[in-house]
Each structure stands twice: as structure tokens, then as C-alpha cells.
Structure 1
Amino acid sequence: MRREKKMTSLPPLREVIARHGLSASKALGQNFLFDEQLLDRIAAIPGSLEGRDVLEIGPGPGGLTRALLRAGANVTGIEMDRRCLPALAEVEAAYPGKLKVIEGDALKISPKSLFAGPYHIVANLPYNVGTALFTGWLSGETWPPQWASLTLMFQEEVARRIVAEPDTSAYGRLAVLAQWRSRSKLAMKVHRSAFTPPPKIMSAIVHVVPGAAPPGVSMRVLERVTEAAFGQRRKMLRQSLKGVPGALAALEALGIDPQRRAETLTVAEFVSVARVLTPAI
């Protein structure tokens, strides 16, 4: 009942945006969501957030922020558009002690500095920085990571690349990095008409939870192998990997045909190559 009273004290998001003269910034990759039912469905994807710490990137005027708070989360938002700060301050006032807003660039702020324990990341990521943020969260040598799950909205094309299977056009470096020690799934599609203004492309939400890391494999080495292999994805591995010291010998030792192309290798095969190379690179 207490939570319902807090929500009724907040005016509708459209009204807030109009009052503050806000408009979505193309430069910041912004698109606003107003549908509370849709936002509540997004906030429910990680499971119960009651009393949990959540990091939100680019909360904007606070649509998803409100949904996360309705779900009982303790939310820390990183927002670089100072035009949105007054609207977020209203949400912060309606949820005393539950929302903290940091003005800044999420690419330059380490989440580890914000939380003492586990946290979830839930965000409608700005299109222009979404992939860079995502790969950064996946790339730590220390595993499991401090984050407990990632629930992230991307362009549908990017989302499909994250969950893609081998021997498909979408399969590439992003799929390997997302799947080799995590479980990734396409949780929800979001139609372009749900946004204001509507983007030209469809969106989708990916949910990622960390899994067990294969032993004896360096993330740095795996990144180097996949970058080389998929950097020339139409070439055979004997060509694309010849610049990686020891890679061709690793293929031979593992019985992987060097005439295959990168997109035909499974995640497990890439991990095996990286494991052989980890002591050497």
C-alpha cells in the first residue's frame, strides 16, 4: 500500500516530460518509453528485485526507473543528460533513500565503485554506446563478476548477435564473448511503436546471467582470437588466424580443420583454442 501511495504522488511521465520541455536527444541515442505495463514487464525479467541493488544506465526522465522502484529495487542511475536531472529528482523525492542519480558518462564510471555487493544491471541502453558497455561488463578477467544479471535493451539486430548460434549470419565475436561463460537469452521483443519518438528499427531485450568460467582460459586471449577470426570472417581460419602466434598449431593440435571459417566454430571450440594459447600469449 505504501508503494502505491508513492506512485500516485508522481504525475504521469508524459506530463513530466512536457513540463520540463524534454525531448529525446538523437546525439545521446535516446528514445522514451511511457507504457507502465511494458516497463513493469521489463523490470520483472531479472526476477524479484525487492531490496536488491540495481544499476540503470541512462534513466532519462525515469520511466524504467519508476518500474524498478515499484519492483522494490534500490536504484543507482547514471545519467549524462542534465536536462533529465530535475525529472529524476522528482522520482528520488517520491522514493526517499531508494534512488541515487549520478551525473556522468557510464563509459567512464566503474560500477565496482558504486556497490559493495552484488547488483543487477537493467537498462534501456542508449543505442550509440550499448555494445561498448555490454562488452565491457563481459570482459573482466575476474569471474564470476560482481553483477548478478544483465537485462538490457538493444537494437534487435544487436540482440540477435548476442544470442546467435554457430553457422548463422548473426553469429560472431559478440556471441562468443556473451556465451562462453554466461547464459544469454532473448527475453522480449519491443516494437518500435512503443517508443517516443519511434526509432526506425525494432528493439529487443537480452537477459544474461554469469555461469561457470571454463578453467585455464584468459579472457584477453579469447578476445584476441575472436577478433582475428571474425575480423576476416569470410576467410578460412588458416588466413584469419595466421597473425595470432601459435593459433594454427593450436588448430592442428585440436583437430580443427584450418579450412573452416570462423562462423562454423562453436563457442566451445573457440574456448579450446584460447585455452591452448593462454600460456603462450
Structure 2
Amino acid sequence: MKKMEEKSMDSHLLRPYNFLPKKELRSFLGQNFIIDPMFLRSTVRLARLQSEDMVLEFGTGLGALTYYLAPVVRGVFTVEISARLLKFAQNFLKSYSNVYFCLADALRNKNSLNPAWIDAFGEVHSLSKPFVVVANLPYQIASSLIVLLLRRHFEEAPFALKRMLVLVQREVGERFLAKPNQKNYGRLSVMVQSMAVVRRVKLAPPNIFWPRPRVMSALMEVIPRKGVEGGGLSYLDKLVRLAFTHRRKKLGFNLAPLASSIRIQSLWEEVGIDPSQRPEEISVQKYLRLALLWKKLEDG
């Protein structure tokens, strides 16, 4: 049965060669389509889904991952920016009554989610009830989208994000996991680790995709932390944007612009930060502590 299923899926997954020009396929915002049924089944298994789960997917593409998700969950709400791809996926998945399609960009801009898909998702599934994100994310939006989904969960209730299992570039996954003094440690590391527990589930080689990317990918599990103070995240974001503006400069130099609004020097000792340190030497916990103290000062 599995061999017959794989043969059927291979036939479908190779169809982009026929229905879209190569140049057009390569223009879909960094999307690389998974053409390996074994990897797709493995992804669904590793997502640890239950029959009552609602899945939120970004980057419907040809509907291949959706095809494996739909039979094992209550529903899949899938977001795609390309009308042509979405039409193809709708036709391929027409036998599934629990798949909900949304033609929209995931992001309104690099700093905010697109409210169009949020509103549409809320009509299908109450945002106060848990949902799981499972997606092969377009490379160009992956890091911004993950941070914004986490921030939405903590800053704008209801948005009951349970966890994410997402395929991203290997380098992006390494930045999620990086620790102080490591090469990839930076703003993304601090923001993601302050809000979530992250682990790399498995690597994905280029040959499972079409077109083949030039880099390895990584399947990452992202689980929101408990007890995160949502009100401090905007301060943390501003703080680390400034802190990592010049990686080789001292932290005191990079955060000098804050001196006009707060007496930041008074916070160094309380947090245990030496302003002569470089930004990559400071832990996530200390950045978060500094951001919360900044918020406290401004709140009076």
C-alpha cells in the first residue's frame, strides 16, 4: 500500500515540471517544494499530532505536506501567497473536507503578521484554543515569521500557539540554538530563546526538494515557554536590535542611543553586565532582564 501511495505522490510531486516554467517556480519567495514522500511522512510523525489538533500551515505550495497532515488531524488551515499554486493544491486536495485554504501573504511587512489570514483562521478555529504550526517555510520569511508568531502568542491574546515544527535553512536553525560567544549568536538567538524552547529534530538534504537549494535545511521544533512577560518583548526587540548593530563594538557603545531616554548606566550593575563586553558575550537571560528593567523605568 505504501509503495502504491508513494508512486502516486511521486507522480503528483513531479508535476511542477509540467505545469509551471522553471523560472516562475524559482520566483515563489524562496519556496522549495518537498518531493520526497518518506520525508513528508516522517515530518508528520515527528509533529506528534493528535486527531483533535488543528494545524496551521504556511506555504501550501503544491499541497504535498497538507496531503499527509489532513488525514491525521481535525483540520489544516493552509496559507499560500500564490493564487496559481493555491488553485493547484485545492484541486489536488479536493477530497479533503477538513482543509481550509487562504490566499494571503503570511506577513504584512517584516515587522508584522498579515491580519487577513489571522481573521480567516479565527473564523475556522477559535484562536483561544490550541493549534500547531507545521510548515515547510519559504526561506525568505522563515525567521521573521517564527519570531512574530511567538510574539503574537505572548502579546496579543487570544493566540494559543501550542508548538511549531518548521523546516528552515540549517543556518537559521543554528542561529535559533546559538549560545553566547558562538559565531551564530545574535538578535534572532536572543528573541527566539527568550520566548521558546527550541531543538533541532533532524537535518534535511537538498535532494528532497525541487528546485534543489544550495544549502542544508533543518526541521526545528519550537515550543513557547511558560511565564513569559509579553509586555517586555517590544523592549527586548529594541534592545537587541541596538545591541547587535555593530557586533565588534562594545555593548556600552551600541546602547548609547538609549542614554537619552533612560539612565542605562544605572542598570548595568543591577543586571550584572559590564558595558565593555561585546554583544555576543551577554546571555539571553541578561538581555531579557535588562529589557524588563527598562520597561519598569518607563512605566514609572
**Farther off after superposition, 259-268 or 247-256:** 247-256
Give yes or no for the alignment of 1:17 onto 2:31.
Answer: no
Q: Conserved in 2, the CA contact under 8 Å of 1:246 and 1:277?
A: no
Report SS of the residue matched to 1:188: strand
After TM superposition, the structure 1 = structure 2 runs for residues 188-207 of structure 1, keeping only pairs within 5 Å, are 188-207=202-221
- Specify the alignment match of 1:261 in structure 2: 278
Which letter does structure 2 place at the counterpart of 1:20? Answer: F
- 147, 154, 173: which one aligns with 1:135: 147
Structure number with higher helix proportion: 2
State percent identity of aligned pairs.
Answer: 27
- Specify the alignment match of 2:47 in structure 1: 46
Q: Tell me the CA shift for residue 91 of structure 1.
A: 3.5
- Specify the alignment match of 1:120 in structure 2: 132
> Which runs of 5 or more residues in structure 1 are unaligned?
none
Report SS of the residue matched to 1:180: helix
Q: Tell me the CA shift for residue 18 of structure 1.
A: 4.8
- Specify the alignment match of 1:208 in structure 2: 222
- Give the alignment's Cα RMSD to 1 decimal: 2.6
Normalising by structure 2, we get a TM-score of 0.83
Q: Conserved in 2, the CA contact under 8 Å of 1:190 and 1:203?
A: yes
Q: Tell me the CA shift for residue 10 of structure 1.
A: 7.2
Which letter does structure 1 place at the counterpart of 2:101? Answer: V
Q: Conserved in 2, the CA contact under 8 Å of 1:79 and 1:105?
A: yes
Which letter does structure 1 place at the counterpart of 2:279? Answer: A
Matched residues in 2 for 1:216 and 1:132: separation? 17
* 1:101 to 1:39, Cα distance in 2 relative to 1, 3 A: same
Matched residues in 1 for 2:47 and 2:9: separation? 25
Matched residues in 2 for 1:14 and 1:53: separation? 25
- Specify the alignment match of 1:100 in structure 2: 100
- Specify the alignment match of 1:231 in structure 2: 245
Which letter does structure 2 place at the counterpart of 1:251? Answer: W
Q: Tell me the CA shift for residue 213 of structure 1.
A: 3.0
Matched residues in 2 for 1:6 and 1:195: separation? 19
Report SS of the residue matched to 2:107: helix
Q: Tell me the CA shift for residue 15 of structure 1.
A: 5.1
Which letter does structure 2 place at the counterpart of 1:271? Answer: L
Q: Conserved in 1, the CA contact under 8 Å of 2:133 and 2:163?
A: yes
Report SS of the residue matched to 2:93: helix
Report SS of the residue matched to 1:189: strand
Q: Tell me the CA shift for residue 200 of structure 1.
A: 1.0
Number of residue-to-residue matches in the alignment: 278
**Farther off after superposition, 137-146 or 160-169:** 137-146
